[in-house]
Amino acid sequence: MQVTETDLPGVLLIEPKRFGDHRGFFMETWNRARYAEAGLDVEFVQSNLSGSAKGVLRGLHYQYPNPQGKLVQVISGSVFDVAVDIRTGSPTFGQWVGYELSEENHRQLYVPEGFAHGFCVLSEFAVFSYLCTSLYDADADAVVRWDDPEIGIEWPVNDPQLSAKDAQAPLLASVSSDRLPRFMEFSNAI
pLDDT digits (tens, 9 = 90+) for 3-60: 999 999 999 999 999 898 999 989 999 999 999 999 899 999 999 999 999 999 999 9
Name the superfamily (CATH) of residues 2-186.
Jelly Rolls (2.60.120.10)
Residue 188 has pLDDT above 50, yes or no: no
CA 75 to the chain's CA centroid: 15
Q: Do you know the residue count of the chain?
A: 190
Q: Which DSSP category does 148 fall into?
A: -
Please report the pLDDT score of residue 185 as a whole number.
65
CA 151 to the chain's CA centroid: 16
Sign of CA dihedral 169, 120, 58, 13: negative
Predicted TM-score (pTM) of this structure? 0.94
Residue 61 annotated in active site: yes
Is 161:133 a contact under the CB 8 Å cutoff? no
**51, 50, 48, 104: which is closest to 71 by C-alpha?**
48
pLDDT in tens, 45-89: 999 999 999 999 999 999 999 999 999 999 999 999 999 999 999
Is 12:5 a contact under the CB 8 Å cutoff? yes
The active-site residue out of 99, 117, 130, 136 is 130
pLDDT in tens, 136-171: 999 999 999 999 999 999 999 989 999 999 999 999
pLDDT in tens, 98-117: 999 999 999 999 999 999 99
The active-site residue out of 61, 62, 64, 117 is 61
Residue 190 has pLDDT above 60, yes or no: no
| Whole-Å CA distances, 100 to 35, 64, 107, 120, 134 | 21, 26, 8, 10, 25
Strands (E), 37-151: 46-53, 57-63, 70-76, 78-85, 96-102, 108-111, 115-121, 125-132, 141-143
